[in-house]
Amino acid sequence: MDYEEGKGLRLKQVCIRPDGVEKVTGHLKFLTDLSFPNMLFAKILRSEYPHANIVSISTEKAEELPGVRAVITSKDVLGLNGFGLIFPDQPVLCKDKVRFVGDAVAAVAAETEEIAEAALQLIEVEYEPLPVVDDPEQAMLPSSPQLHPNGNILHQASYQSGNVEEAFQSCDCIVEETYQLPRQMHAYMETEGGVFVPEKDGTLTVYAGTQHGYKDRYQLARILNMPEEDIRVVSSPLGGSFGGKDELNIQPYGALLALKTGFPVKIHQTRRESVRSGIKRHPMKIKMKTGAKKNGKIIAHQVRIIADTGAYATLGPAVLDFAVEHATGPYMIPNIQVEGYSVFTNNGVAGEFRGFGGNQVTFALEGQIDRLAVKLGMSPLELRQKNLRQAHDPGPVGQKIAPTDGAQQVLKQISQSKLLNSCRKQDHNGLIKTGVGVAITMHGGGLGYGRLDPAGGRISLNEEGKIEIAFGFEEFGQGLLAVIEQIAIRAIGCSREDLHIVIGDTYKVPRSGSSTASRGTSMVWQAIQRMKAPFQNSLLERASQCTDVPVSQLKIGEKGVWHQDELLISYKELAKQTIDKPLIIETRFDFPATPCSIPGGHFLYSFAACAVKVEVDLATGFVRVKHLEQAVAAGPVIFPQGYLGQIEGGSVMALGYTLTEEALIEKGTYVTENFDTYLIPTIKDVPLSIDITAIEELCEEDEYGPRGVGEIGTVAVAPAIAMAIYDATGIWVNKLPVSREEIVNKMMETEMSKWLTSK
């Protein structure tokens, strides 16, 4: 492939993304860049309180403001006043109760954004504040105010095998620790927005980014009380998503206002509005107790996860299931007990986020392994090796999975990293300490057992003579178009100029499911493998019919069908001659899930190992990641630039998660409201070298091709950094983002006397 042995993945061969030129020239119209004649602008009024009853809402004054065209409240919701990917418990517009500061109470459409904004201030809402439930553990108590009719526990999940209590009795070494993970913000650079256009024929066109156009259409149809077919959702491209735009955000308000006014309505949230209303990564508190024998064999692992899911469900249950499933990761442990709770609070809303609960449990799990290694006096790599799964072992919850040697492969690869044996620099004052750390992970792809996970695609020869490939996936930066292009060129044998790729428009694409859970690349590959032979055969047959040359002598190539090194008939000509019976091949199938009945149980996994070198400044507690390496086993690399970009970008996102990022909420209200206080890494915060090695080899019997790598690069980074900090300072990090304060305080205790001694 395109990487040089021993040097990590490198871009030897230049391959320009199909959407590249438009992106670098600024010509690409994002959906928030669109405008239409007579367009109105909308603003959404969000709750003043994290928890309150609504006593009354009066919109008269706002309606009277010149330039205001419509004001909507819960009364104006045409259909179901609720949304949510799993179940619709989040009100579109709150009627009598608000449960978080992002709850929408009213929305306004006006001739300008400024008028809409001014109108919001004229809407009078009388609230009766209620006690704020801001701690998930408190929320679980019966005495806590109940946020939903079925109580505060949204979802409970568990897994058990063997007998942990007994096993702990025979352990030589036990580590018990509680880990706390923060509320991370996706921080996609394009905030939520789009334009909603009521068409003359009574239909509605929605131009708003999402990860799953058909799902938005389904949810909007319910809210608008409109047939799904009457709604067209144009949903790509997006300026980033990372899971954050899979759930509905501003769509219901734009749609309702467009229908009410009869004019196109634009909404583009400010960053502040985005922070306040948008979903975040689940904060989790994870307690783990892990025991091993003297020889390093881990025999018991007990886990309790409490996830703060915020005010509404969205994908909370699925995230918890994922965390429970991944709580033992790639290790074979005979006695396991995992229980997890996803709990409602008034703290924002947590939902889907790249990594999907895996990041949190992996931080805890890898932390346990490192602590055990230190306690046992064993090298962390050796301890991992001792307990690591083999190719044919069952999955982490005992389920049948596709055989994979990924865990062994990535561990072996990372063990060879020069980083781990690099020299430990010490500055003259002894205050800058260097350390290294490693962590590994496995990560399931697809939605898993028991979740509808249909996929599909379409190949056709369109009227213009282009080979049209259509998928219902979305492009939010991951390079989907390049992936489709590369797979199609290789499978079909045509050139990139012969292709026309269509995505992100429910009027034009088949159903492919959501662009989520690292399923995109995998689905595209599988779909094209399925469609390739029928398409090629049919194409050749048609060519043969048009030219009277037998199929056996024909070959698909650039521009058309070839015969003995000569272009015999172009695709254009072929399309023209067969216009009466267009060539269309479609496929539908389900993303492979484990046959074992475990909710959310996965079948396909990818693996990663991460090594880092950090510098810790004891005087300030500042941690700098100097080098980072990742080895990834996720099958063949389709589009090297995209693969590399996913792992590099994922690494840095995880670096932010580890060191600076936290969407801080105090008493239900965000403290971090924009990029001045919510700090994602800048170019100065990242290691200048990030080395990626792609392990492409799959097990012989593996017929599933490339796996997606959208998430895997984010998972192992945090625990690797935590280990490196321990290596440098002897301080165990159990809470993210890493507390500089704790490092400085500990250093005051241990190094102070040395520090305050002159030479």
Partner 1 sequence: MKLKTLSSKIWMPTDLREAWRLRQLLQLESHFIAGGTLWQTKWEKGAPQPSHLISLENIKILEAIYEKEDGGQNFLHLGALIRLADCLRYPIIKAKWPLLTKAVKTIAAPAVRNLGTIGGNVASTIGDAIPALLVMEAKIGCFDGDDIKKIDLDHWLNEEFKDDLITEIVVPEISAPPSYVHFYQKIGRREAFSGSVVTIAGIIGQNDNGTIDFARLAAGGGENRPRRLRITEQLLDGRKVESALLKKVHEAVFSEFQPAGDAFFSADYRRRVAANIVIAELKKLEEKD
Partner 2 sequence: MADKQMSSSIKLPSEERMRMSIFVNGKKKELEIHPAARLVDILREQLHLTGTKISCGIGRCGACSVIMNGRLVNACLVRAYQANEKEIVTIEGLAEKGLHPIQQAFLEEGGFQCGYCTPGMIMAVKAILDQYPNPTSQQIVDGLSGNLCRCTGYSGIIRAVQKLAEKETSRLDSKC
The number of CA neighbours under 13 Å toward the Cβ of 34 is 23
Of these, 7, 27, 581, 759, which contacts partner 1 (CB under 8 A)?
759
Q: Residue 690 corresponds to which amino acid?
A: I
Of these, 97, 622, 732, 735, which contacts partner 1 (CB under 8 A)?
622
Using the rule CB under 8 A, is 686 a contact of partner 2?
A: yes
Identify which of residues 428 and 581 has a Cβ nearer to partner 1 in the complex.
Answer: 428
Using the rule CB under 8 A, is 755 a contact of partner 1?
A: yes
Alpha helices in 225-357 (DSSP H): 251-261, 271-277, 316-325
- Which span sits near partner 2 by CB under 8 A: 227-235, 580-588, 677-685, 721-729? 677-685
In whole angstroms, the minimum distance from the beta carbon of 189 to ligand FES comes to: 4
Distance CA 236, CA 256 (A): 21
Q: Residue 484 corresponds to which amino acid?
A: I
Using the rule CB under 8 A, is 121 a contact of partner 2?
A: yes
Identify which of residues 235 and 309 has a Cβ nearer to ligand FES in the complex.
Answer: 235
- Collapsing DSSP to helix, strand or coil, 185 comes out as coil
In whole angstroms, the minimum distance from the beta carbon of 123 to partner 1 comes to: 15
549 binds, among ligand FES, partner 2, partner 1, none (CB under 5 to 8 A by kind): none
Binding-residue pattern over the window 621 to 660 for partner 2, x denoting contact by CB under 8 A: --------------------xx-xx--xxxxxx-------
Using the rule CB under 8 A, is 428 a contact of partner 2?
A: no
User: What is the Cα Rg of the chain in Å?
Assistant: 27
Please list every residue from 735 through 754 that binds partner 1, using CB under 8 A. Answer: 740-741, 744-745, 748
Identify which of residues 456 and 477 has a Cβ nearer to ligand FES in the complex.
Answer: 477
354: closest CA among 188, 518, 531? 518
429 binds, among ligand FES, partner 2, partner 1, none (CB under 5 to 8 A by kind): partner 1
Identify which of residues 553 and 674 has a Cβ nearer to partner 2 in the complex.
Answer: 674
Tokens at residue 675, please?
């990029």
Distance in angstroms between the alpha carbons of the first and the last residue of the chain: 56
Distance CA 25, CA 597 (A): 50
Using the rule CB under 8 A, is 620 a contact of partner 1?
A: yes
In whole angstroms, the minimum distance from the beta carbon of 190 to ligand FES comes to: 8
Distance CA 360, CA 303 (A): 12
SS (H, E, C) 597-665: CCCCCCCEEEEEEEEEEEEEECCCCEEEEEEEEEEEECCCCCCHHHHHHHHHHHHHHHHHHHHCCCCCE
User: Angle 251-261/213-224 helices, nearest 10 degrees?
Assistant: 50
In whole angstroms, the minimum distance from the beta carbon of 501 to partner 2 comes to: 16
Using the rule CB under 8 A, is 554 a contact of partner 2?
A: no
- β-pairing, 669-670 vs 124-129, is unpaired
Please list every residue from 459 through 478 that binds partner 2, using CB under 8 A. Answer: 476-478
Identify which of residues 561 and 652 has a Cβ nearer to partner 1 in the complex.
Answer: 652
CB 638 within 8 A of CB 470: no
Of these, 5, 548, 676, 700, which contacts partner 2 (CB under 8 A)?
676
**DSSP state letter for 288:** E
200 torsion bin: left (phi>0), alpha (psi -120 to 50), beta (else): alpha
In whole angstroms, the minimum distance from the beta carbon of 416 to partner 1 comes to: 30
Using the rule CB under 8 A, is 690 a contact of partner 2?
A: yes
- The dihedrals phi and psi of 410, each to the nearest 5 degrees, come to -70, -35
In whole angstroms, the minimum distance from the beta carbon of 445 to ligand FES comes to: 23
H-helix or E-strand spanning residue 461? strand 454-461
Which residues are CB-neighbours of 753 under 8 A, at least 6 positions away? none
User: Cβ atoms within 10 A of the Cβ of 165, count?
Assistant: 11
537 binds, among partner 1, ligand FES, partner 2, none (CB under 5 to 8 A by kind): none
**What are the E-state strand segments in 162-214?**
173-181, 193-198, 204-208
Binding-residue pattern over the window 61 to 100 for partner 2, x denoting contact by CB under 8 A: x---x-----------------------------------
In whole angstroms, the minimum distance from the beta carbon of 127 to partner 2 comes to: 18
CB 734 within 8 A of CB 555: no
By CB under 6 A, name the binding residues for ligand FES: 189, 240, 477
622 binds, among ligand FES, partner 2, partner 1, none (CB under 5 to 8 A by kind): partner 1
Chain residue whose CB lies nearest ligand FES:
189
In whole angstroms, the minimum distance from the beta carbon of 215 to partner 1 comes to: 32
584 binds, among ligand FES, partner 2, partner 1, none (CB under 5 to 8 A by kind): none
Which residues are CB-neighbours of 516 under 8 A, at least 6 positions away? 211, 212, 243, 246, 352, 447
Tokens at residue 249, please?
């955000």
Identify which of residues 189 and 533 has a Cβ nearer to ligand FES in the complex.
Answer: 189
Using the rule CB under 8 A, is 237 a contact of partner 2?
A: yes
Identify which of residues 249 and 314 has a Cβ nearer to ligand FES in the complex.
Answer: 249
Of these, 2, 111, 117, 573, which contacts partner 1 (CB under 8 A)?
117
- Collapsing DSSP to helix, strand or coil, 439 comes out as strand
667: closest CA among 128, 130, 270? 130
Report CA torsion sign: 222, 227, 229, 232: negative
Q: Residue 445 corresponds to which amino acid?
A: G
In whole angstroms, the minimum distance from the beta carbon of 428 to partner 1 comes to: 8
107: closest CA among 23, 41, 55? 41
Q: What does the angle CA 126 – CA 127 – CA 130 come to, to the nearest 5 degrees? A: 170
Please list every residue from 174 through 203 that binds partner 2, using CB under 8 A. Answer: 186-191
Using the rule CB under 8 A, is 26 a contact of partner 2?
A: yes
Of these, 254, 465, 681, 713, which contacts partner 1 (CB under 8 A)?
681
Of these, 684, 688, 700, 749, which contacts partner 1 (CB under 8 A)?
684
Tell me the C-alpha to C-alpha distance, in Å, between residue 214 and each of 246, 253, 383.
Answer: 11, 18, 46
Using the rule CB under 8 A, is 682 a contact of partner 2?
A: yes
Q: Is 228 exposed, middle or buried (0-12, 13-18, 19+ CB in 10 A)?
A: middle
In whole angstroms, the minimum distance from the beta carbon of 675 to ligand FES comes to: 7
Tell me the C-alpha to C-alpha distance, in Å, between residue 570 and each of 79, 531, 539.
Answer: 51, 21, 11
Identify which of residues 189 and 567 has a Cβ nearer to ligand FES in the complex.
Answer: 189
Using the rule CB under 8 A, is 676 a contact of partner 1?
A: yes
Q: Look at the block and give the residue holding tokens 């709770």.
A: 341
Q: Which residues bind partner 1 (CB under 8 A)?
A: 113-114, 117-118, 270, 272, 428-429, 431, 619-622, 624, 659-660, 664, 666, 671, 673-674, 676-677, 679, 681-682, 684-685, 740-741, 744-745, 748, 755-759
Q: Which residues bind partner 2 (CB under 8 A)?
A: 11, 14, 16-17, 19-30, 33, 35, 61, 65, 112, 114-115, 118, 121-122, 186-191, 237-240, 242, 268, 270-272, 476-479, 641-642, 644-645, 648-653, 674-676, 680-684, 686, 688, 690
